[in-house]
Chain A
């Protein structure tokens, strides 16, 4: 036993000596996923974009209030409903020292939007994120003109998702090379990509400074940035508490107190962009009746669940849009918690003894779904939760109009652009890909179609608000909440704030 103790102490001593040497100006992020690729035009993952956005800059970006502002562009002018001009700033350098020109911007847009532009006949998987872009041309040397096939007012809201690449570099290394190498114009440049483990970047000293509307303008503060991949949330929390990392994303609500109570760490939150709701199968046995849907809405005490299960880290919604989204209606009718009214409505619908239904959900949301089920049961809708896997449930419910089985589906839809186009249309337009309730109202379809191409901002907002009012009365879904994004941070971190679009921009972050 003595020997064992001695051996343990000796081993500990060895590891104490070689404890990872953290440089003063290293900032480490404990992050859920690795990048799929380093090619900004060849992926469809938000996490990949979060990492890449620290090495690449966009034509436009967003400030902390989610306002779209120029980044690599100096200014944006809308010439006509389908033509936008972007004047490109001079003096921007790529990491290899070459100058960024309007030609690079045109090349970037073409690479994303044109058929087969990725090489080998492949089209960028990000093409659909750029809507009806027809072409990009260089005019007057430093201006890029983007022409649309039809009016698409959300182009400025979608451009921050795309990053500018160097034409010469891509032509040299090809799309295959760009998958593992980078030559961006962002605040950090790649040092090493340890696949599945970490992406290590260092400050780019010739950085032009970033968006002039977002202070501070200039070089990044820290010497190195490391995105360390820690998929398991308990391990991410452990890494933060142990001081191995300075920021972690997706801090689970049940760990918030633990992180707050730890002397060296704190919690930061920002309103998220993902709306949670329950789809009710409008072609199904019970929920084809509006009274039954209303009964469900009155049976759920959203505020209680937000308070008790989500730790207060969510904003209540009564329509599909986040309170921060463009055109969100502030005064939608609220279906308040009233289980007696639910029972009465069920009786009126011909179910005086209540109904028995199932609710599908993914494993990650089982606890919340169980809480909702018990509330529904109290209101006369005896609900059993069925846990399924994400892709399988999506197949079952998002049938694009084909008949579906099932009663209720607890699910969500993200809205990174905070524009209704990306969330309202797919979830509410007849037979659209996210319409899991099977909702169909020609009037709403017409409003959604017209709003998508309406350029008058006030008129467009009015259309969406009108559609929200109709949907609020039709009630295809019980709208629940928009959870906040929760980050755990080290107290040595300064100058960083989380951003509502889930990006982790480290340009302004410093460590003490």
Chain B
């Protein structure tokens, strides 16, 4: 009896000790992952090609130049997007001031009516330009919004990974549970699985191609698949450039109507 009690106590102690330790680790991993994924360099520039393929195989493509400037690592960011294709929407530009805590501010410039419009939306889960990526998927969901636990350590595509489960601290419309497969070497997510409140698998992100660019490991091709709609979005980054020396001034209304010539030909 004595033995059993002490055994139980030890077990309890290990469990009690174990949970915070792994939680700490998991949160640390997710923080590093977030920074590696969304905050490479102080700023970044790329031409993005986005293809959405629906269940019937119908494709829609968009091409845009995207500029990003970080206020601080893990902090607020500014995005500027200039559309090149499809041709009937070319010259539309779009700007986001991402606030880590609070609603993002968005502006859009519509050339055919020569109008800049500010949009404030509280829904970061809504689709980014009709793709399967949400705004949050594009600019990143702060690791601080979820509780993370390491579920296992395993291997994916020949790479050692942590399998980490994230559960939103506050009820979230986008997902109820996320499982990320984080590359132990690069901290980049190789795969993310999203589940809804009924614990149904709803969408899957995959890193298809990772390249080292100017010393930064960058996911140059990723996909997001909507399981139920059986629709997939491919995002390919080209002409990537980091630390080009962007200034805050670029991310103002003035440049929405007149794209910065040094970055956008």
Chains A and B form a bound pair? no
